[in-house]
Chains A and B, each alone.
Chain A
Amino acid sequence: MPNTQDLENICTQVRRDILRMVHKVNSGHPGGSLGCTEFLVALYYTIMERKDQFDMDGLGEDIFFLSNGHISPLFYSVLARNGYFPIEELNTFRLIDSRLQGHPTTHEGLPGVRIASGSLGQGMSVAIGAAQAKKLNNDPHLIYSLHGDGELQEGQNWEAMMYAAANQVDNLIATVDLNGQQIDGATDDVLPMGNLKDKFEAFGWSVTVIEEGNSIEAILEGMAEAKSKTGEGKPVCVLLKTVMGHGVDFMMHTHAWHGKAPNDEQLAIGLAQNPETLGDY
Chain B
Amino acid sequence: MKTYTYTEKKDTRSGFGAGLAELGRTHPNVVALCADLVGSLKMNTFINENPKRFFQVGVAEANMMGIAAGLTIGGKIPFTGTFANFSTGRVYDQIRQSIAYSGKNVKICASHAGLTLGEDGATHQILEDIGLMKMLPGMVVINPCDYNQTKAATIAIADHVGPVYLRFGRPSVPIFTPADQKFEIGKAIRFTEGNDVTIVATGHLVWEALEASKVLHEKGISAEVINIHTIKPLDEQAILDSVRKTGCIVTCEEHNILGGLGESVARTLALSHPTPQEFVATNDTFGESGTPAQLMKKYGLDSEAIISKVETVIKRK
Are A133 and B94 in touch, CB under 8 angstroms? no
Complex contact A107–B60 (CB within 8 A): no
Whether the pair B67, A163 counts as a contact (CB closer than 8 A) is yes
**One of B68-76, B171-179, B259-267 at the interface:** B68-76
Query: A residues 109-127 with Cβ under 8 Å of B?
Result: 114-119, 122-127
Q: A106-B102, A107-B101, A122-B98 are in contact. Are A136 and B66 (CB under 8 A)?
A: no
A33, CB-defined interface residue at 8 Å: no
Residue A130 at the chain B interface, CB threshold 8 Å: yes
- Number of residues on chain B facing chain A (CB within 8 A): 32
Give Cα A63–Cα B74 distance, bound, in whole angstroms.
Answer: 10
CB–CB B74/A57 < 8 A: yes
Please state if A126 and B93 are interface contacts (CB–CB under 8 Å): no
Residue in B63, B71, B75, B103 whose beta carbon sits within 8 Å of that of A163 in the complex: B63
Q: Are B66 and A116 within 8 A (Cβ)?
A: no
A56 within 8 A of B: yes
Determine if A105 and B62 form an interchain contact, defined as CB atoms under 8 angstroms apart. no
Nearest CB of B to A68, in Å: 13
Question: Which DSSP category, helix, strand, loop or mixed, fits chain B's interface?
Answer: helix
* CB pair B74 A115 closer than 8 Å: no
B98 and A114 form a contact (CB under 8 A):
no
Contact status A129-B68, CB under 8 Å: yes
The answer to whether A107 and B103 touch (CB under 8 A), given A126-B69, A129-B69, A159-B60, is: yes
In the complex, which residues 29-52 of chain A have their Cβ closer than 8 Å to any Cβ of chain B? none
Decide yes or no: A136 and B76 within 8 Å by CB, A122-B97, A159-B62, A162-B60 being known contacts.
Answer: yes
A255 within 8 A of B: no
Which residues of chain A from 149 to 173 have any CB-CB distance to chain B below 8 Å in the complex?
155-156, 159-160, 162-163, 167
Closest-by-CB residue of B relative to A63 is B73
Chain B CB within 8 A of A134 CB: yes
Contact in complex: A58, B73 (CB < 8 Å): yes
Chain A, residue nearest B94 (CB): A122
The interface residues of chain A lying within 8 Å CB-to-CB of B89 are none
How far does the Cβ of A251 sit from chain B's closest Cβ, in whole Å?
28
